[in-house]
Amino acid sequence: MTQTVYQHANVFNGKDENLLEDVWFVVDEESGRITEMGSGQAPDADRNVDLKGAYVMPGLINAHTHMTMDAHALDSGLGANIIQTTVLALDNLQTCLKSGVTYIRECGAAYDIDITMARLERQGKIKQVPEIMPSGRAYSMTGGHGDMPNFSWLVDDPHAMRHAIRQGMKNGAETIKLMATGGVMTEDDHMFQPQLSVEEMQVAVEEAHHKGRTVSAHAEGPQGIKNAIAAGVDGIEHCFYCDDEDIEKMVDQGIHINPTIVADWIIATKGGEVLPDFQVVKAADALDDLLANLKKAWDAGVKMGLGTDAGTPFNGFDMAPKELELMVELLDRTPYQALMTSYQSAEFMQIDQDYGSLEAGKFADFLVLKNNPLTDISAVQEVDKAVYKKGQRQF
């Protein structure tokens, strides 16, 4: 068993608010796990890495991505064929890992490409990509927010939903993404329009929970949020227009929110004359309400995850560190509160026994930074940071 000891590190372990100073940790090279941690004199090991006082934190977990979307194409790349889409997805994933994200949860991928990518990553056949929790295609009503080429299962009654969910999980979906409302990107709907019904979503939750899968709903407008909560989903994506009753129910039911602030912020602030007017207007109109409602939900105790909606316009796969900065700047959170969203993503994804924090027994997914992210959240955006996955340096 080959072991490497990393020493002289200042560690944010992903859970505790206090920085741990002059820390060493030992990584088993075969399993990729941390075997022990401590401070002071480091134990002997086969290899020794002196981090010379650098700052170490867990790799980020992005709980909302779309690897088959092109953030820099007006059609989001959704008209591309399967070969073009596969090449795009691989490039997006490598960008994602380089930014510091070591694990992602997909929330809708064309052609079920994320399922194949997840399998290839686990087999070691593709390199320098994060680990992947695949969703396969999203689930939308005909004409709904997800009705885009090769992107969603289209379902229009509970029976069709039951069949589609079962087929999706048979194909390899490990998490389920439902479309409960309209949204910003699609022209012929609006976030205030509810889409999938309570009954349709209840069937999805029932089938997914039978297999221990999590279910989240794209839900921006008020009625769609209420419908998703009534259906018993595990997570609400975006959650622009939650009210006090919704917040109370989310706390009681343990429902997480993945805010994806950067997705709306970047369209509203940088869309300009590049994007269609309908996208920019919808995003700009909703931004202040989104921020106010997220603050209220966060303060009330709703658990917040880290998710970016990567792949939407201007919202590339390197934006997770920017999302943390926006939480601090626009939601008045401390850097610690923002960083904790990554661990809460691990909890939501039910992978926190192995990921999300730096502890003995967990995988050695970590970042090495020059500056302290607990005092300067922009430290996570360092372009030359070292990124390790299971103890192996990737970038």
* 227's tokens: 């419908």
Residue 32, domain CATH: 2.30.40.10
Q: Which domain CATH number covers 91? A: 3.20.20.140
Give CA–CA dist 68/55, Å, rounded: 33
Phi, psi of 31, rounded to the nearest 5 degrees: -90, -20
The pLDDT of 237-243, averaged and rounded, is 97
Check whether residue 212 and residue 114 sit in a common domain: yes
The DSSP bridge pattern shows strands 386-389 and 366-369 to be antiparallel
- Does the pLDDT of residue 188 top 80, yes or no? no
On the 0-12 / 13-18 / 19+ scale of CB atoms within 10 A, 358 is buried
112 and 124 fall within a common domain: yes
Q: How far apart are CA 195 and CA 217, in angstroms?
A: 11
Residue type, 26: V
Q: Which of 118-132, 177-191, 194-208 has the lowest mean pLDDT?
A: 177-191
Residues 342-350, mean pLDDT to the nearest whole number: 98
Same domain, yes or no, for 41 and 68? no
State whether 98 and 30 are in the same domain: no
Residue 297, φ and ψ in degrees, nearest 5:
-65, -45
What's the rounded Cα separation, in Å, for the pair 374 and 372? Answer: 5
Lowest mean pLDDT among 25-29, 127-131, 181-185, 261-265: 181-185
- Are residues 46 and 67 both part of a single domain? no
333 backbone dihedrals φ, ψ, rounded to 5°: -95, 160
User: Are both 319 and 199 inside the same structural domain?
Assistant: yes
Please indicate, yes or no, whether residues 146 and 16 belong to a single structural domain of this protein: no
Taking 80 as the threshold, does the pLDDT of residue 185 lie above it?
Answer: no
Instruction: Count up the domains in the chain and report the number.
Output: 2
Non-local (6+) Cβ contacts of 81 within 8 A are none
Instruction: Indicate the pLDDT class of residue 283, thresholds 50, 70 and 90.
Output: low
Please report the pLDDT score of residue 271 as a whole number: 65
307 and 295, same structural domain?
yes
Give the tens place of pLDDT for each residue, 124-158.
999 999 999 999 999 999 999 999 999 999 999 99
What is the chain's mean pLDDT, rounded? 95
Residues 38, 151 share a domain: no
Q: Which range marks the domain in which residue 257 is found?
A: 60-349
CA distances from 199 to 23, 60, 120, 196 (A): 52, 35, 36, 8
For the segment 60-76, the average pLDDT, to the nearest whole number, is 95
